[in-house]
Amino acid sequence: MIPKEFGERMKKMLPQEEYEAFIQSYDKERYQSLRFNPLKGERENFLQKTPFHLQPVPWEENGFYYEKEDFPGKHPYHEAGVYYIQEPSAMAPAAYLEAEPGERVLDLCGAPGGKSTQIAASMQGRGLLVSNEIHPARAKILSENMERMGIKNALVVNETPQNLRKFFGCFFHRIMVDAPCSGEGLFRKQEDAYQEWSLDNVKMCGERQDEILEEAYQMLLPGGRMVYSTCTFAPDENEGSISRLIYNHPDMSLVEVKKYPGMGDGNASWFDDFATHDKGENPVEGIERTIRLWPHKLHGEGHFVAVLEKQSSEDETARELKPEKTVSFKELKELQAFAKETLTDTKTLEKERFLLFGEQVYLAPEELPRLKGLKVLRPGLHLGTLKKNRFEPSHAWALALRPEQVKNCWDLSWNSQEIGDYLKGQTINAAGEKGWYLICVDGYSVGWGKLVGTTMKNHYPKGLRK
């Protein structure tokens, strides 16, 4: 299953007994996990409701392994954004980022959205999360996952790191750099990963990572935190990339963080022996503070994580960006009428600012800068469309609401015929007050319905119907 040159390098890196355990891990089934979305409700409540066989992922409080007889991707909870199916080792980087509510955070290489949605959960809907992906098709998937998880404070963009740095400058409190890499940690998970591997590709990835890290450094505020991660074992892309960054920017330093059982230290000798770059620098002090996640030592795939902080400086301050033009709640009469009719409380909306793009209304994240010059896919939470004398709510808004926030909720059981019918786009027989209803599955919002007579008209998007 593994390329010859890769195997030879790993045999030199690891002691004989450990190398054999490492190779044997490729014959074992990989571990699968999901990450509960706290934006949708309480974790303990989810654990009581779930039909899955869950065990905790040590390094992420909302992460859980599931068994092969579980199929969470086919469950209605998945469509409701109750969880994100994510490889367990891939949960570690965003957990170490420790994003806080109210901060400005950048996920530089965000698709398909695992780390961005994990960061958003930590931010609890407050602050500004800029989630970027350079490839247009993958950026679309990123945007769709942000919507499914009910995230309201994210700006999703499709840009190069260079353009982002020119636009934002020194702006972010925290930056996640899950860099494109040679993918050696994915050989067990993805067959094409080892078919595409080569030593030349490892070197190319290292050079590209240096460029990405340089742009990220320029956007990080003094005193800010950056987490760099890869899913490869190559020293040139791991210890090497971090050493080159700190060599060029001595105000960056590695942070010593808690390591969980099965996590190993970075190794300075690997940089000396296996790095392909020849720039004359040595591995930086403290490289052992970086983290290696080994598939033969823990329940997850191969990963590398480095937690860095930028020294505080009086000479470098945050760049001042002009705010995006917004409108107030009072200026949106149709939205006001809908909110008064549908929501239990409009006071929160009255304090918010909104974006208008033609007939489309978005909830603006905090500190949203003027967007001119950016390729934007999602400028916040899409609330809906202004029609003639009325407002039609979006699917994204439904997913961001909780049952207690609406006057009318139609709750269905996950194993009922009705929820299956709803996700297929069919109508539901119902009785109650006419108007908009938040359709829920076991208390988790999944979409809109509109009751007319005894028929709940289906507003689940056609493109998502099963």
Whether the bond between 112 and the residue before it is cis, its omega within 30 degrees of 0, is yes
- How many other CB atoms are found less than 10 A from the CB of residue 459? 19
Longest CA–CA span in the chain (Å) reads 77
Q: What CA–CA distances, in Å, run from 72 to 14, 64, 398?
A: 36, 12, 21
d(CA 311, CA 253) in angstroms, rounded, equals 8
For 88-122, the three-class secondary structure string (H helix, E strand, C coil) is HHHHHHHHHHCCCCCCEEEECCCCCCHHHHHHHHH
Nearest to 9 by CA among 152, 203, 192, 143: 203
What sections of 369-428 are H helices per DSSP?
A: 395-400, 417-423
Say if residues 411 and 441 touch (Cβ distance below 8 Å): yes
d(CA 314, CA 222) in angstroms, rounded, equals 9
Residue tagged active-site, from 170, 181, 231, 440 = 231
Active site residue 231: yes
d(CA 61, CA 54) in angstroms, rounded, equals 13
The CB-based long-range contact list for 373-377 (8 Å cut-off, 24+ gap) reads 373/167, 374/157, 374/159, 374/163, 374/167, 375/157, 375/158, 375/159, 376/155, 376/156, 376/157, 376/158, 377/139, 377/140, 377/142, 377/143, 377/156, 377/157, 377/158
Please state the separation of Cα 89 from the chain's center in Å: 14
Euclidean distance between the first and the last CA atom of the chain, given in angstroms as a whole number:
35
d(CA 317, CA 312) in angstroms, rounded, equals 10
Say if residues 283 and 272 touch (Cβ distance below 8 Å): yes
Residue 352 contacts by C-beta under 8 Å, 6 or more apart in sequence? 329, 363, 364
Which residues are the active-site residues? 231
